[in-house]
Chain A
Amino acid sequence: MVAAGVGTACDGGLQPEPICARTLVGLCGTVRFRGAVPANTENVFIATYLTFPQTCTDLINNRRPIIPGSVPFTDSIAAYSVALSPGAYHWVLAVWKKPGTLTLTPADTQYLRVAGYYRSPTDATKPGIVTVPGGAAAGDIDFVVNFDSLRPATDFVTCTAQ
């Protein structure tokens, strides 16, 4: 029985998972921070969209993951990773958040700003498309967050509430 226990328990269990772990299915990379961190900064997190959102409702309902993980923003650079289903993601962005309770509705946009996004390697004015392969991760998805240029959602989508 001891042998059976040792044999089974030595395999598996929770393991450390570094950013861009071999087991990650999703995307990973680094975020470089520029500008002065606003005093009312609560969080910076990474969000993704399979298709570019057209409305504020899309912005909330189509976000992957629904509750994104945060990124430490006190250093000049931070590594991040996001677990995602395989697919082509048309918008990978960093979202800045000020204090306030999120409700998973368009009203959330009053607390959120677009802080930066991954850009197309061929045309830096456009968002880059990232393909997450099946069973693996898309790496080196690096981009810049500029705290001096936080933009409201209405710069990108149509919103009735902000």
Chain B
Amino acid sequence: MHRAIATLLLVFAPFPAAAQGVVRGTVRDKDGAPISGASIAIPGTTLSTRTDLQGLFRIVLVPAGLVRVHAAALAYGPIDTAVALTGGDSTTVDFTLSAAPLALPPVDVVSDRVPHFGDRPATSVAQVTERDLDRRAVNTVEEAIDHVAGLQMVNGQTNVRGSTGYVQGLNSRVLMTVDGVPMNQGDRGGINWDLLAVDEIESLEILKGAGSSVYGSAAFGGVINVTTRDVPAGLHTRLRVNGGVYGDPPHPIWRFRDNPGLLGGADFSASYGNDVAGGRISVGDRHSDGYRQQDQDDHLHFAGRARWEHANTRVDVSGAWAVDHYDVPLSWCSRGKCDDKGQIFQPFMVDTTERGARTDSRKGYLAARVRTTVSPQFAWTARASWLRTHFADVRRSATEFGVGDRFGAAGQIEAHPESTRTVIVGAEATYSDVTSDIFGTHSQSEFAAYGQSEQRMGAVRVSGGARLDFLAVDGGSLTAVVSPRIGATLNGEEEGGGTWRASIGRGFRSPTMAERFVHTTALGFDVVPNPTLRPETAWSFEIGHTSAPLLRFMRLDAALFWTEARDLIEPQVLRIPPDTVKIQLQNVVRARIAGLDASVIAAPIPDRLIATLGYTYLDTRRRLAGDSTEGPLAFRPRHLLTLGADYRMGDLGVGADFRFASRPERIELEGFVDPRRVPVKVLDLRAAWKNGPVELRVLAANVLNYMYNLVPETLAPVRTVTLTVVWSH
């Protein structure tokens, strides 16, 4: 007890000013070019930062003496160095990193909630960096993450290792955070992928497996954390213009218009910053004719970010607002419902009864974050956020609308009582409300407290913690959910054995207000509310290995995962005697999701050729309550495969990506919808050229114009060729 009190006093005690200094410097590659986004950390402390566009960094409050400084960046070998620092002084450290495509990338953002020592956590993490985003020339965040091993986007719904499936956008079993702020909709729980312009994004990190022990509800199957670009020092502007064309239907009998569909857009951002403060504003506009009949989309967005730094405190404020007007091709045309030219179905056209369907959508967020580094052993963070979504679905039969808010506040303390131990504790409160003619008027409150700790013992790191969530709907009684998690990693890199990781944790997802209270019509049947829905829960286990470099040019990462879920929410057809049929979301399923997730990166020609392979095998089982028969979960392909290759010659780079997903064995409501579905086989080709401030990128997505659908009666994107020009100053 006395030792604990002494430790607490030591942690909270302000560090003596005379014993502190500043470490500043640059991170560059061997040619002297600055490396932006590199991680700089003082291991064993709360002190860390990232380099700006000029490769500059600055860390204050560094304890005087011989200080170990760690620098790491994606595709470069990390460096540790020791510098002598005198109290009240500053020391300059310039790092030169060597290209090392097989080097394990640093994991930064996940550490916002997960204690670590600059090493990778005990669960699997995939990363999409700024370089990946540029290389792929993608135009949306969805496109950016759709190539990640083990991840599949199903009509806007995110599946990490088969977590979500597809339920018409009424939920998500994956949580999205933007700079640490949860961004799932307050009413439907889904993710607004069009809220953020891809140009605002610096990187994405995908935490696979149950993350509820630190992130709470919605992190049932994983977490996608988006890091937006910081405001660098100096004046910077960036203009990005793109235009493209959709491919025609591959079969003349499916032609539905005389001219090809076009798409295009522009984004502009300007920022100014210095050591104390900075700000950025950006605006963008986009139009698409769509690749199908009734598929036009207009998008407009504004975003802003500001930072203020003083001594040991940093304040960040960010926000965005997006307006979308888009046509809704509800389902493709079946026999007799359009000019089908004698075909059983026409995937490029819609039923005439659904002509004119469109959605007007507005959404925005405002977030503020304060972080104070009290001492090298202690830091606290507070944040507040507001997410608002508004939609109006205009249909021939009716117009539906919904307005949802999600208010959040959180506080977190990070402590390093010893150089080998990290502790994070925090509390969160979230209030969501919805006003809608199909969801009603409701509110949901969530309160949570969590704690995580990690202890290093030689090459082994052990972490553990738990989160306690209380949920209340419409001010009713509280439901409590406990989500514990433990994990361990063994770092055998120095002995040439790679690293091992294992974790087990509990995940949960609270039903969204849309799931509880939706009252609408689908497939001609009434969809009725179910206010008694219970939270879904799951235990997830994972064991993984990252190999040391094999044959000096490749590295393998593989993980076995196993999730046992209860009370999964799925739509059910109710036959209510004597003469009524309805659809209702129910807790009816016990489910198992198990499989293998493997990825390989190879650099057979260093600095020129990099190839990647990702493969996920999914074995899913579901069992209805009171039924001994088992079957696969809907919308979960058994095999997912991604292949990628990039070749660079000076200023020019070319690349290719191939995605395969096997045909899902089961879909929801089979017998009521067109059951046609085929495997996914999509090949993308791309090229990029950079000279000074100008970059040109060409992307030919689905270059073979392969026709497929991910959900019933909805054609997936056809061949799309886009040219993007980026000018940075």
Contact = CB atoms under 8 A, between A and B. Distances in A.
Interface of A: 1-2, 4-6, 8-10, 12-19, 21, 65-67, 69-72, 78-81, 101-107, 161
Given A1-B643, A70-B336, A14 B676 contact: yes
Interface centre among B254, B344, B524, B715 (most CB of A within 10 A): B344
B326 interface: no
Interface of B: 251, 253-254, 334-337, 340, 342-345, 347, 521, 523-525, 575, 578-581, 611, 643-645, 656, 658, 660, 671-672, 676, 678-679, 681-683, 685, 704, 706-709, 715
Contacts, number: 103
Given A17-B345, A103-B525, A105-B580, A69 B334 contact: yes
A19 B346 CA distance: 12
A2 B685 contact: yes
Nearest to A64: B671
A18 B581 contact: no
Contacts of A102: 524
B254 A16 contact: yes
A67 B709 CA distance: 21
Nearest to A4: B658
Contacts of A70: 334-337
A103 B672 CA distance: 12
Contact of B715 (A14, A19, A66, A161): A14
A24 to B, nearest CB: 8
A161 B579 contact: yes
A105 B347 CA distance: 31
A19 B672 CA distance: 21
A30 B254 CA distance: 22
Given A80-B335, A104-B575, A13 B707 contact: yes
A65 B342 CA distance: 20
Given A15-B251, A69-B335, A103 B579 contact: yes
Question: Would you list the 3 A-B pairs with minimal beta carbon distance, nearest first?
Answer: A5-B683, A105-B579, A9-B681
A113 to B, nearest CB: 18
Nearest to B345: A17
A14 B671 contact: no
Contacts of B344: 17-19, 21, 69, 81
A19 B335 CA distance: 9
Given A2-B683, A66-B672, 20 more contacts: A4-B643, A5-B681, A8-B660, A12-B679, A14-B708, A16-B251, A16-B254, A17-B343, A18-B342, A66-B671, A69-B344, A78-B336, A102-B524, A103-B579, A103-B580, A103-B581, A105-B579, A105-B580, A106-B579, A161-B579
16 contacts: A6-B683, A9-B683, A12-B679, A14-B676, A14-B678, A15-B707, A19-B343, A66-B671, A67-B523, A67-B672, A72-B335, A79-B342, A81-B335, A81-B344, A102-B524, A105-B579
A104 B581 contact: yes
Contacts of A66: 671-672
Contacts of B575: 104-105
Contacts of B337: 70
A66 B611 CA distance: 48
Contacts of B251: 15-16
Nearest to A61: B575
Contacts of B678: 12-14
A122 to B, nearest CB: 30
Given A71-B335, A71-B336, A14 B347 contact: yes
Nearest to A73: B336
Contacts of B682: 9
Contact of B343 (A8, A16, A107): A16
Given A1-B658, A17-B345, A6 B704 contact: yes
B654 to A, nearest CB: 11
A72 B343 CA distance: 12
A42 to B, nearest CB: 10
A83 to B, nearest CB: 8
A18 B342 CA distance: 6
A128 B387 CA distance: 62
Nearest to A11: B681
B704 A10 contact: yes
A15 B660 CA distance: 18
A80 to B, nearest CB: 7
A101 B334 CA distance: 19
